[in-house]
Each structure stands twice: as structure tokens, then as C-alpha cells.
Amino acid sequence: MFASTKARLGFAALACVLLAACGRPNVEDAEKAISRFDAMSPAAVLCNPNELGGFRSAVRRYAKAKQSHGAMWPDFTYKNMRPDDLTVTVLAGVYAQLISPRDLGKAAWHLAELSPDGVSWGAYSADVSYIGRPNPELLRNGAQFACGDLVEYSQALAEHQLGASYWQERIVKETMISNRPYAQKKALLDRATKRTQGDLRRVLRLERDLADAIDAKQLAQR
């Protein structure tokens, strides 16, 4: 009788595992659906309404599938200085207000850490010192009149924010809570500051280019 009870319990446990697995989205199918966008440029994905709708659907599906299996995607953490292209495209779409944070599931929790608002870490020189939250009017007009320029700007902003997060985490681990020699710490700080300032200069230049492109298109339509 004990053996029979043990067998029934084992069968019940197996059934629960199988039911839970059946209820989870299939990662392979979701990855196949989103992989077709991997070879496309951000502008080709985000500026084509037909492609954008399919991309948002694929993002929701893949994010849900990965997260249901204990993995985070999109991964906005500081593991890599330059994340995969799809992650950058997703974040650029969010910054351009072409993708809703709701599409990202639990990964949207990390967006607050990447909010482009206030003084940018590492940017302390006189000519590059501040990056503000993107102007909503600039984003709306960009989507209407100069989507390619909008996406290029948003992509640069996404790469800057992700890169700054990566460098900031390294600075904390390798200088603030590390016993490394001062020369090594200073070298890392100098390298991080140079990279983040270079990225930020690119963001500000592309922001100006976007504004100029919008003005030119509006002027041409008058």
C-alpha cells in the first residue's frame, strides 16, 4: 500500500510538472518569430508600420517566453558594453515612443535605471555635461517627418545609456569596492569617461540633426 501511495504521488508530481511546462510559451517558436528581424536595420523595423506591428508582437511573445522560463529578455543589465542588436532596437523603439514598455513584460522594470534624465554619468566636461529626457514634441514630429533620423538618434541614445550603465557598474566593482592600485583605478575611470563622453557627443549631434531634418521637411511642405 505504501508503494502504491508513493507511486501515485510520483505520478501526480510528474503530471504537475508536465502541466506547468505545457502552460509555458515555447521559446524556440518565439525565437524563430523574432529572428527574422535580426538582420534588419532599426529604421527598417521601426519606421515601417507593417514591420513595426509584427516586431512588437514578436517582442511580446519572445519576452514572455524567455521570462516564463526564468530568463530575462530584453536584458538591459550591464553584462556587456554593447548588447545584441535586437535589445538596442527595442530600447531605441521605447525611447522613440514607437514601442510600449508594456511589450517588454518584466524587463520594463529596468527602464527606470536607463531613463535619459539629468546629468549623464561620466560626462563632466564643459562641452558635454547634460542629457535630458527626449522632448515629446521632437519625438512626435520625428516620427511624422523624419523617422529615419529619429531612429538613428534613439539608437545612439540607447547605446549611450546601456554603455553608461555597463561602465558605472564596473567603476563600482573595480574602484569603489576594490583594493586595486590607484593607477589601475584611474586608468579605468579615464577609459570609461572617454567612452561615455564620446557616445554622448554623438547623441547630442544626432539630436540636432533630427531637429534640422524636421525643420527642413516642414519647410518643404509649406
Instruction: Answer whether residue 23 shows pLDDT above 50.
Output: yes
- Average pLDDT rounded to a whole number, residues 9-32: 63
- Cell numbers 513595426: residue: 52
Alpha carbons 180 and 172: distance in angstroms, whole number: 12
Whats the size of the chain, residue-wise?
A: 222
Instruction: Answer whether residue 117 shows pLDDT above 70.
Output: no
Alpha carbons 36 and 189: distance in angstroms, whole number: 39
The runs of H, that is alpha helices, within the chain are 2-23, 27-35, 42-46, 49-68, 85-95, 136-145, 147-171, 182-221
**How many Cβ atoms are within 10 Å of 90's Cβ, its own excluded?**
30
- Average pLDDT rounded to a whole number, residues 65-87: 83
In Å, what is the CA distance from 125 to each residue of 43, 122, 134? 32, 9, 21
- Give the N- to C-terminal CA distance of the chain in Å, as an integer: 88
Q: What is the pLDDT of residue 116?
A: 76
Alpha carbons 144 and 96: distance in angstroms, whole number: 12
Q: Which of 8-17, 82-91, 160-169 has the lowest mean pLDDT?
A: 8-17
Give me 102's grid cell: 508594456
- Closest among 118, 93, 119 to 108, alpha carbons compared: 93
Model-level pTM? Answer: 0.81
Digit-coded pLDDT (tens) for 126-146: 344 455 677 889 999 999 999
Q: What is the pLDDT of residue 109?
A: 84
- Average pLDDT rounded to a whole number, residues 142-162: 94
Q: What is the pLDDT of residue 25?
A: 72
